Structure 1
Amino acid sequence: MPDKKAKQILFKSFWKNGWIDTKDRQLLKEDFEYAKSKGYMFEPLTIDHNECLEKIISIRDKISLENISKAFLSSLSSKRLDLRSSLSSYFLSHKFKKHDYSPVVSGTSYENGQPKYHSYTCKICRDVQYGVIGDKNYVERDLNVLNFERLKWGGVRHGELIYTLFDLQQFEKETIEEPLKEDINIFKNILNIIETSEPNDYPGKLETRLKDVIKSSKPERQALIEILASIGILKPKSYDRPIKGKNDWTFVEYWRGEDKYDQQTVEKYFGTHLK
């Protein structure tokens, strides 16, 4: 059962009219212990790429497509954004096969025009799908910030291996309710908004239009769009497209209104509920 006090402790640790700077974050030990006892806060996690992947595959195989679909739909009216997040993690987890970490340069920082530092990711994870990231080691990683983002917006680190693991671990504990008629109607309205997009609409335009059919904040709608894009409902027909200004989009960055939505993916995940 949700615990308002524990959730409030988690949220106040990171957010006060915006992100709280790391140096200014304060958390009493007794508050942490209470939130941890209710499943809202966690000890830091240290895990390597290979073990993380093995756990993802093990948990994934215990979760049914039916429960994932029901959880996503039921989140639309209840605003259980954490349940909404699991759709993306479940989909991405099914693209993984067991493999060893295979490093490849993912970025380079320069000083005076000379390479100073390289960052790395797993090449096999990277090639699974655009936006997927697999680090070699996760050392003392803060799971609390992942849970905060998951509960507040529906997750913002979809595609990161450690987030996929954490998200599925939390989902596995849930009892999933049947979606309401209201949920089905909201989803149908979302699909209609996508279908009636103008050919040159960018993801930002879609986000604005969605506010008329689902009660949500802008960041919540952005996360929703990214989730739909990560599983291929919003599928770019081309990656050779200009990008308009600086943005935080990942999976949906190259989608345009002319792409509409992928009916086969909708049918796979939600067909039985839409009939």
Structure 2
Amino acid sequence: MDKKAKNILFKTYWKNGWVSRIYTDPDDFDYAKSKGLMFDPLTISHDQCLVQIHGLLSVISMDKVLKAFLSSLSTRRLDWRSGIASYFIAQQLPPHIYTKVISGQSYDNTGKVTHTSYTCGICRDLKYGIIGNEFYKHIDLNVLNFERIKWGGVRHGHLEYTFFDLQQFQLTEIPEPTAEDITIFTSILEIIESSQSADYPGALEKRLAPVIPSTKDERKVLIEILSCIDILKPASYNRPSRGRGDWIFAESWRGEDKYDKASLEKYFGGYIG
């Protein structure tokens, strides 16, 4: 990854926190774009997006996303890590056309509806609920790329992110996981297995800190990804939450669930002895 282009992308959105005014010098933008890190806005429909996603699924192998996930652990290439969640989400998506359903409404003080928002009902009713709009106009792909490189993606489950993430992943060469990667992954599994029964995902995030180079936000995304691919698999989805909305895929996981051995063997059995 070109360091100068990455710096241009990052300073567009972040300086000790989100910047208040988004601006990229045109020459800087052209440079970052030439290195594949910044992009022109995208306009695409739900149906076109879905066709593109299924096309990408046909050319990306499961082995590649597994290798990318493992290789991300020591290298801290969080964009590699993001791909496995998008791949698993994409596998859930059946071919379909946009099916309009109400996703929310706003009311005035008399109870009159002032605004109605919509989403695709077929996407919504899939596991965890995929967010699919009918049209995407002038999407800022650069903020999506910033988020996937900085944290490993924060919009898994959004149709446009699934498309963009897989599109970029397909262009990426992934190395073989190293012994260090496998050691880190094994340590992560040991931490999960030693969880206390009543632990929430937040407790797991803190306990993972010593075994993987990461920030708090990176560990939260890691836990979400492990939940998305069923390594962290709740015994029940009917559990109370703490109401802060901090988690999506990991919301129902508790320490008593440990990790799902069948999923681990199915996906990572070739890497974990």
Q: TM-score range by the shorter chain?
A: over 0.9
Partner residue in 1 for 2:245 = 247
Which one of the candidate residues 214, 222, 225 is aligned to 1:224? 222
Deviations 1:101-156, CA, capped at 9 Å, x for gaps: 01111222222143322221111111221141111110000000000000000000
Partner residue in 2 for 1:28 = 25
SS in 2 for 1:204: helix
Cα contact 1:86–1:167 (8 A) shared by 2: yes
Alpha-carbon deviation of 1:230? 1.1
Cα contact 1:75–1:84 (8 A) shared by 2: yes
AA matched with 2:217: P
Which one of the candidate residues 97, 100, 104 is aligned to 1:100? 97
Cα contact 1:153–1:219 (8 A) shared by 2: yes
**How far apart in 2 are the matches of 1:69 and 1:134?**
26
Q: How does 1:192-203 map to 2 (within 5 A)?
A: 192-203=190-201
Alpha-carbon deviation of 1:47? 0.2
SS in 2 for 1:273: coil
Which one of the candidate residues 210, 213, 220 is aligned to 2:211? 213
Partner residue in 2 for 1:44 = 41
Partner residue in 2 for 1:16 = 15
Deviates more, 1:155-164 or 1:253-262: 253-262
Alpha-carbon deviation of 1:247? 3.1
RMSD: 1.0
Q: How does 1:60-139 map to 2 (within 5 A)?
A: 60-112=57-109, 113-139=111-137
AA matched with 1:18: G
Identity of aligned residues (%): 58
SS in 1 for 2:186: helix
Partner residue in 2 for 1:150 = 148
**How far apart in 2 are the matches of 1:107 and 1:264?**
37
AA matched with 1:168: L
TM-score, structure 1 as length reference? 0.96
Cα contact 1:131–1:251 (8 A) shared by 2: no
Alpha-carbon deviation of 1:185? 0.8
1:4 aligns with 2:9: no
Q: Which runs of 5+ in 1 are unaligned?
A: none
Partner residue in 2 for 1:169 = 167
**How far apart in 1 are the matches of 2:136 and 2:4?**
29
Alpha-carbon deviation of 1:242? 1.5
**How far apart in 1 are the matches of 2:233 and 2:112?**
38
**How far apart in 2 are the matches of 1:136 and 1:247?**
25
AA matched with 2:15: K
Partner residue in 1 for 2:268 = 270
**How far apart in 2 are the matches of 1:100 and 1:245?**
34
Change (3 A) 1:131 1:248: farther
**How far apart in 1 are the matches of 2:257 and 2:101?**
32
Alpha-carbon deviation of 1:233? 1.3
**How far apart in 2 are the matches of 1:265 and 1:161?**
24
Alpha-carbon deviation of 1:93? 0.8
**How far apart in 2 are the matches of 1:131 and 1:203?**
20
**How far apart in 1 are the matches of 2:262 and 2:2?**
38
**How far apart in 1 are the matches of 2:162 and 2:232?**
20
Alpha-carbon deviation of 1:245? 3.8
TM-score, structure 2 as length reference? 0.97
SS in 2 for 1:157: coil
Cα contact 1:44–1:140 (8 A) shared by 2: yes
**How far apart in 2 are the matches of 1:12 and 1:231?**
32
Deviates more, 1:252-261 or 1:237-246: 237-246
Partner residue in 2 for 1:159 = 157
**How far apart in 2 are the matches of 1:109 and 1:202?**
32
